[in-house]
Each structure stands twice: as structure tokens, then as C-alpha cells.
């Protein structure tokens, strides 16, 4: 019996040595806030990220009494085009390098509904951190919670540095 107890304790001790060390504490910036961590998106993560964003947007919309949105491939194509273009231009804004507007982009991909709005971001943060930032701003929150919205497109472009250019396009 003592031999079995010693064997079990030895195994437990050996396994406890295999535990992963705790993560390092976050690095703080000059303002005392944690510095952003690099959020690297893998090519196979696309649908998972898009549906996580859709589910999160719909949870916010449900809490606000709005109907849920569905993911639309045409709006997603317009969002992807703009995310890549913002990266190329190296600035977050609503106009394409060819002078196109969000309305121009949804028409080019064959979307026949009306544009409700477009939200954009340049960040190193995750999609859910980006959504939280959008919800803090009155203009982008109104787009996301619009009672006229029915469809959503969501895409991004990640630079080699890790910077992510997010675009959400919402239509009626």
C-alpha cells in the first residue's frame, strides 16, 4: 500500500512539473494602460470570426429590440475590398483609392438593398474588442443597431506587421 502511495505521489509530482508557466504580466504603455497584444488571424479562421461577429452583433441588437442580421456574401465582398484598400492606402477612411464610396462598393458587388452604413477600424485588437469600441461611439452604434438593417458583411485585411483593417458593411 505504501508503495502504491509513493508511486502515485511521484506521478503527481512529475505531472505538476509539466504545468505551463503563468502568462507574463501585460506590458504597460506610458499612459499606464496595457499595450495591445498581436492578434494574428490564420486563413482558416475566416468563417469562425465572421460568425462570432454576427452572433455578437445580433446579441446587441436583440438587447436593443432590433431584428437579427444575416451574413451577406455580397456585402462581405464589398467589406473585404475596402479593408484591403484601406491597408494599401494606410489610412482608415470610407473612400476607396479610386474615389469609391460605400454605396459604390455595394453596387459593384451586385447588392440591391440600401446601404445602412459602414463601420471601419485600424487596430491590433480582436473583432470583439473592435465591436466594443464601435459600440462606444454614437455614430457607429447607430449603424450597428439600426432598425432598418437586415444584412451584414464583415471582412478584414491583416498587414504583415499584424495591424488589422476591419470593415463592416450593413444593408437593408
What integer pLDDT is reported at residue 2 of this predicted model? 56
Range with the poorest average pLDDT among 29-33, 83-87, 118-122, 161-165: 29-33
Q: Rounded CA gap, 164 and 53, in Å?
A: 15
Q: Mean pLDDT throughout 45-51? A: 95
Q: Rounded CA gap, 56 and 74, in Å?
A: 20
> Residue 153 in 3-state DSSP?
strand
Is the predicted pLDDT of residue 98 greater than 80, yes or no?
yes
pLDDT in tens, 111-158: 999 999 999 999 989 999 999 999 999 999 999 999 999 999 999 999
Is the predicted pLDDT of residue 23 greater than 60, yes or no?
no
Phi/psi zone of residue 91: left (φ > 0), alpha (ψ -120 to 50 degrees), beta?
Answer: beta
Q: How many CB atoms lie within 10 A of CB 70?
A: 11
Is the predicted pLDDT of residue 60 greater than 70, yes or no?
yes
20-46 residues labelled b (16+ CB within 10 A) or e (exposed): eeeeeeeeeeeeeeeebeeeebeeeee
pLDDT averaged over every residue in the chain: 88
Q: What is the largest CA-CA distance in the chain?
A: 81
What integer pLDDT is reported at residue 151 of this predicted model? 98
Range with the poorest average pLDDT among 14-18, 124-128, 141-145, 159-163: 14-18
Amino acid at each position: 500500500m505504501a508503495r502504491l502511495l509513493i508511486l502515485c505521489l511521484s506521478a503527481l509530482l512529475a505531472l505538476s512539473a509539466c504545468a505551463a508557466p503563468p502568462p507574463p504580466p501585460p506590458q504597460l504603455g506610458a499612459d499606464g494602460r496595457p499595450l495591445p497584444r498581436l492578434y494574428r488571424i490564420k486563413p482558416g479562421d475566416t468563417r469562425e470570426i465572421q460568425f462570432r461577429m454576427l452572433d455578437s452583433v445580433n446579441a446587441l441588437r436583440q438587447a436593443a429590440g432590433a431584428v437579427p442580421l444575416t451574413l451577406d456574401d455580397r456585402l462581405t465582398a464589398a467589406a473585404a475590398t475596402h479593408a484591403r484598400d484601406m491597408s494599401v492606402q494606410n489610412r482608415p477612411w470610407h473612400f476607396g483609392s479610386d474615389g469609391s464610396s460605400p454605396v459604390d462598393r455595394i453596387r459593384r458587388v451586385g447588392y440591391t438593398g440600401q446601404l445602412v452604413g459602414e463601420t471601419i477600424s485600424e487596430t491590433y485588437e480582436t473583432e470583439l474588442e473592435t465591436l466594443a469600441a464601435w459600440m462606444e461611439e454614437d455614430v457607429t452604434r447607430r449603424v450597428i443597431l439600426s432598425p432598418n438593417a437586415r444584412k451584414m458583411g464583415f471582412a478584414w485585411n491583416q498587414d504583415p506587421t499584424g495591424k488589422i483593417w476591419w470593415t463592416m458593411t450593413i444593408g437593408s
